[in-house]
Amino acid sequence: MLNRPLLLLTTLYFGAVCWAQQPDPALSSYIDSIRAIDNHAHVMAFSSADDKGYDQLRCDELPPATTLPPANLRFSPDIQAAWKALYDFSGSSASDEVLAALKARKDAARKKYGDQYHDWVLQQAGIDIVLANRLAMTPELGAHFRWVPYEDALLFPLDNSAAKSLNPDRRALFTMAEQLLKRYLQMTGVNAIPPTLDEYLAKVVTPTLERQARQGAVAIKFEAAYLRSLNFQPADKKSASAVYARLTYAPEAPDYTILQNYLFRYIAAEAGRLRLAVHIHTGSGCGEFFDDSGSDPMLLSSALNDPALRQTNFVLLHGGSPFNRHIVSLIAKPNVYTDMSVLELMFSPAELARILRPWLEIMPEHVMFGTDAGSFSPGADWEETTWMGTRNARRALAIALTGMVADRNITTARVKEIADQVLRRNALELYRLKPAP
């Protein structure tokens, strides 16, 4: 039997834990009513089995995993709830038979909703607009989708054999980046890498960004942490031009990074001129050789502090997790934002609430909702992860805000405003989006 003080302590402790995970019901239903803007998702096309457009550096083309996926990404009650909500389908495992039966339900839904299928998925999740991270947009994604194309390929125009030899993942990733650069060269009417940096900028880099802006992009995306460190130091054009010229003939030279650093800042400046926000993958990534230390968003400090880039808005995706505390200081800068994409799939709502809270206490105007929805595992595709991510994010936000009110950190009037900002308004303003009718 517990003694009295211990019993009291235990009651207080568990009482607090239970309470902290129970959001205010009125606030929860308000949050559930907000039509959200998904800042970051890998939207799959209708015939998703053949669709390679959902990502530039595709995790499913890396060497097969030799370890289990993160626990929260395995078959779970969340996935079961998504199947039930979207397709009225019950399955107690992700066995081949269950997945085949699920596919039949999914195909029936696709047939029923036709070219409204993607919009129907968004309605189920309460999402208004999605920023679709894709190589190219597909016509079936209608008025509720905006385009975010990829730029990493432009950073690596020369011989990448040294980087490819680092590990099997880098080999696969650089091969994909090189394929995309080839495509960009073709689209700008250039058959080979131009001989000088000036020509490369004028004939390939700027025209690619201008085409993307013309075709409706609202932001551009870097997944550079999969290919090198995010430490993009300043680099002057003269040194970068010399590296460009020399590396064409000497691929092993160690100063390729000078050229990459210059190109990153050039592209970021051009994005500012074209009013495109710059999305950057920060924090953990897929693959068994991912360089975690190189993905710390703090490595971007010198670029974020570059006075020449203050017209460019940066969005640090995935909250830099596990470096999410570093985000706290970075989002205090006028042109730096973050989103919670993938965190609501990796972590429970209670844990995500803990991650969100210091951001909300510092700069809620620079925090955005996002899912990173895409093909995560059999039975957890863009549709399911959109639904799960949105539901968990709303719950996490409600938990964090309930705690802030209870701690007299904010008023009940302010709490709804922050919920609106994070789920919708910050993105509407940052990308100057006009909501779909």
**CB-nearer residue toward Zn ion: 51 or 372:** 372
Nearer to Zn ion, 65 or 250 (CB): 65
Closest contact distance (angstroms) between CB of 303 and Zn ion is: 20
Q: Which is nearer to Zn ion, 87 or 369 (CB)?
A: 369
Q: What is the 3-state secondary structure (H, E, C) of 262-321?
A: HHHHHHHHHHHHCCCEEEEECCCCCCCCCCCHHHCHHHHHHHHCCHHHCCCCEEEEHHHC
128 near Zn ion, judged by CB under 5 A? no
Amino acid at 58: R
The nearer residue to Zn ion, 224 or 259, going by C-beta atoms, is 224
Phi, psi dihedrals of residue 138, rounded to the nearest 5°? -115, 140
The interface region with Zn ion, picked from 26-34, 174-182, 370-378, 379-387 by CB under 5 A, is 370-378
151 touches Zn ion by CB under 5 A: no
Torsion angle, alpha carbons of 117, 123, 127, 132, to 10: 0
* 372 near Zn ion, rule: CB under 5 A: yes
Buried b or exposed e, range 293-329, using 16+ CB within 10 angstroms? ebbbbbbbbebbeeeebeebbbbbbbbbbebbebbbe
Shortest Cβ 278–Zn ion spacing (Å): 15
Shorter beta-carbon distance to Zn ion: residue 261 or 375: 375
**What angle do helix axes 237-247 and 256-273 make, rounded to 10 degrees?**
120
User: Amino acid letter at 235?
Assistant: A
Q: Which stretch binds Zn ion (CB under 5 A): 26-34, 192-200, 260-268, 372-380?
A: 372-380
Contacting Zn ion within 172-191 (CB under 5 A): none
Residue 193, helix vs strand vs coil: coil
| 372 or 381: CB nearest Zn ion | 372
The yes or no reply on residue 344 touching Zn ion (CB under 5 A) is no
Are 271 and 215 a contacting pair, CB within 8 Å?
A: no
Stretch near Zn ion under the rule CB under 5 A, chosen from 31-39, 105-113, 286-294, 367-375: 367-375
Residue with tokens 């830099």: 320
Q: Which tokens go with 292?
A: 């975690």
Give 315 or 398: the residue with its C-beta nearer to Zn ion. 315
- Pick the piece of the chain touching Zn ion (CB under 5 A) from 66-74, 362-370, 371-379, 382-390: 371-379
Q: What residues form DSSP beta bridges with 279?
A: 221, 315
Q: Taking contact as CB under 5 A, which single stretch among the options 102-110, 194-202, 369-377, 404-412 is the one that binds Zn ion?
A: 369-377
Q: In whole angstroms, how close is the CB of 59 to Zn ion at the nearest point?
A: 9
Sorted by sequence, the CB contacts under 8 Å of residue 212 that are 6+ apart come out as 147, 149, 220, 276
Q: Which residue minimizes CB distance to Zn ion?
A: 372
Q: Cα–Cα distances in Å, from 110 out to 116, 143, 152, 256, 379?
A: 8, 18, 33, 47, 15
Tokens standing for residue 136: 């190219």
User: Given the rule CB under 5 A, which of 174-182, 269-277, 365-373, 417-425 is the region that contacts Zn ion?
Assistant: 365-373
Q: Least distance to Zn ion from the beta carbon of 343, Å?
A: 12
Nearer to Zn ion, 241 or 338 (CB): 338
Which parts of this chain interact with Zn ion (CB under 5 A)?
372
